[in-house]
Amino acid sequence: MPFANCWEEDLMTTSPPRPRRSPEPQEPARESSSSPAVLVAVKRIFGSENGDYFLILGATMFLVVFGLVMVLSSSAVESFKATDDFFTGFLRQAMFALLGIPIMLIAARMPAVFWRRWAGIAMLVAVSLQFLVVATNLGIEHNGNRNWILLGTFSFQPSELVKVALVVWLGVILAKKLEVLDDWRQLIRPIGLVTAVAIGLVLIGGDLGTAIILVAIVLGSLFFAGVRLRILAVPTLVMAVAALGMAMSGGSRQDRILAWQSGCTSDASYNGLCWQTLHGWWALASGGVFGVGLGNSKAKWSWLPEADNDFIFAIIGEELGLLGAIVVLALFVVLAIGFIRVIRSSRDPIAKITVSAVLVWIVVQAFVNIAVVLGLLPVLGVPLPLISAGGSALVTTLLAIGIVLSYARQPVPDRMQR
């Protein structure tokens, strides 16, 4: 028994210790282990973007948000008159912004070969839709212009799609003709024919303002592609004569231009064709340097037609003053600088020409809109890009900026692809 007891005591002293139970992982440890995965995911999404990408994206988002605020302010009165709801116009514009921003971001992720492959088809579809506007009962007339198409309960402006298709298509075609840009006959086939058909269909619908923007896109693309000014002089003169003939062909458009030339000084012009121009001036003048305050405009109380669209810059000047107007101009300058940086840094001729075309589109359209409000041009019905109310214009402009962002992106480094 003593020996047995000793043996049992020896077993008890020499038996290996029980393994300790590992502590359960704490919640903070799980969070810290997941954070590297989140960082990797963010780097995979934004690792290929450079400063130009974020400069353009930031300026665009500021303009869109600023536009939504101004649409809410400028459209509240007319929305309440039409629907007993102050927010109808704003909610409609916000819906298009929520549609256009994802479209822009998706377009920004597309490779360059995607735009080259679909440029011709996009141009064909856009021109075909514009043909349906002027040649079938699907077209809708608004404010004297037949530039809308109705498909079921959905309506939009195909002329805005023509802008997007044109900038992409011109980039592809002109890049193929870089060696023959001095031969005007090479430019006529197919550039001259296709653009003449597209612009002609828009003019048939009576939309002179959009036609002017399309002409600017074509001429700007040719210039940035390297076409000499002596070759550009002839088509510029032809288009100018055609636009002037269209404007002076009679009807309300001719009357508006003649009233604008007279300086809107007669009583008849005050009560008629110059009503919109004069009230736009008075709205700007009443704003002063600091404005009357956001939401405090008097012109939007049915005094200024299209206060949330073509003449929204007048409401900006009235409510936010000269400082607010300068902020808008500064944002467009920042956006243009971003485009120019992409043009200078890109080695792809298609990217250079396409981004140049979008640059001309947005800058010229903003200039025309502001010039109309200031009285430097007659009323043309051109919206302020990214700010004015209008779903078709907003979505297509965001799509065009998305195309620019796709060209602004740098190739993803090998280490980011692993």
How many helices and strands, by DSSP H and E, does the chain display?
17, 3
Residue 409: which pLDDT band, with cuts at 50, 70 and 90? confident
The residue-averaged pLDDT of 310-329 equals 96
| Gap between the Cα atoms of 353 and 134, Å rounded | 30
93-136 pLDDT tens trace: 999 999 999 999 999 999 989 999 999 999 999 999 999 999 98
Range of lowest pLDDT (44-53, 107-116, 182-191, 269-278): 44-53
pTM assigned to the model:
0.85
H helices of 177-228, in order, are: 184-187, 193-204, 208-225
Is residue 235 within 8 Å of 184, Cβ to Cβ?
no
Q: What is the pLDDT of residue 31?
A: 47
Token output for 75: 């459209």
The residue-averaged pLDDT of 173-178 equals 91
257-300 pLDDT tens trace: 777 777 777 665 666 778 888 899 999 999 999 999 999 999 99
Element (H, E) at 140: strand 139-142
Is residue 107 within 8 Å of 402, Cβ to Cβ?
yes
Q: What is the pLDDT of residue 26?
A: 52
| Gap between the Cα atoms of 390 and 74, Å rounded | 13
Res 1 pLDDT > 70: no
Please, what is the angle between helix 51-83 and helix 88-109, to 10°?
A: 160
Residue 317's nearest CA partner among 365, 278, 374, 277 is: 374
Phi first, then psi, for residue 309 (nearest 5°) are -125, -100
Which residue type occupies 66?
Answer: F
The residue-averaged pLDDT of 301-324 equals 94
| Gap between the Cα atoms of 330 and 355, Å rounded | 20
Q: What is the pLDDT of residue 122?
A: 95
Instruction: Give me the residue spans of the domains in the chain.
Output: 49-409
